[in-house]
Amino acid sequence: MRNQIEFIVHGKYALFTDPVTRIGGEKFTYQVPTYQALKGIVESIYWKPTITWYIDDVRVMNAIQTEVKAVRPIKYQNDENDLMYYTYLRHPAYQVRAHFEFNENRPDLAYDRNEHKHHNIAKRSVKRGGRRDVYLGTRECQGYVEDCIFGDGESFYDNYGEINFGPMFHGFTYPDEGDRESFQARLWVPTMKDGIISFERPENCEIVRTIHKDSMKQFKKGTNFTPVDDEYKTVFKEVDQ
């Protein structure tokens, strides 16, 4: 697919929190990563407001195993600690395939729509392990990104058949990627076939709920935004050195 990147992300633990379990404070992980968690990883590799990343597929490489840990987080009401139990995924590893498209809700950034340069910087960022810290769900679960070819290597779930995970959180739709004025949450029902989950595009999710009204963040050249042309020169200057 056009403007696509492929990589593997892995770590010691992962916690893709089921929102239902967060009410009581004791977090329980989903069995597989959510669309939003993988999108956050891709945006940690490379992101600009000019583009929108779409997660195409994820391949689960290791067996799905969980581990319960006792933690002592700080209570919201005061500075005292509390004992809680979090359920993590052990030794997660995922091959990810994603692509970007230009954000049509930002016509003011049309001058930054240089497809070739965005794609080249994204591929270089994958090889360097990302531009920002990568987390597998929650902040305490550090992740590591490496370049790969999607489908290479053996997966625990090769020739495993289909697994249906039931209704799951898909992701958030921010104002600049939706109707420009609403913050929404999406749900869907994923099915894994031989270790691979193909994600629905956000606009195709049937279960969508508006959380609250919101507005788009503004980006202005020279203040909080650097055009890709200027950044591309910097990237290649570092490579040449």
Domain range summary for the chain, segments of one domain joined by + = 4-233
Q: How far is CA 236 from CA 7, 134, 233, in A?
A: 22, 24, 5
Quote the pTM value. 0.92
Give the pLDDT score at 24.
67
149 vs 83: which has the higher pLDDT: 149
Inform me whether the pLDDT recorded for 163 exceeds 90. Answer: yes
Measured CA angle at 121 (ends 100, 4), to 5 deg: 35
Percent of the chain with pLDDT over 70: 95
Please give the DSSP secondary-structure letter assigned to residue 215. -
**Residue 232 pLDDT exceeds 80:** no
The predicted structure's pLDDT at residue 28: 92
Q: Which helix (H) or strand (E) holds 161?
A: none
Query: Which segment of 132-146, 155-169, 179-193, 210-224 scores lowest on mean pLDDT?
Result: 210-224
Question: Any idea which fold 4-233 has?
Answer: Alpha-Beta Plaits (3.30.70)
Q: Is the pLDDT of residue 170 over 70?
A: yes
For residue 234, the model assigns a pLDDT of 67
- pLDDT (0 to 100) of residue 156: 97
Inter-residue contact 29 to 44 (CB < 8 Å): no
Q: How confident is the model at residue 96 (pLDDT cuts 50, 70, 90)?
A: very high
pLDDT at 240: 43
H or E element at residue 187: strand 182-188
Q: What percent of the chain has pLDDT over 90?
A: 78
Q: Is the pLDDT of residue 12 over 70?
A: yes
pLDDT band of 71, cuts 50, 70, 90:
confident
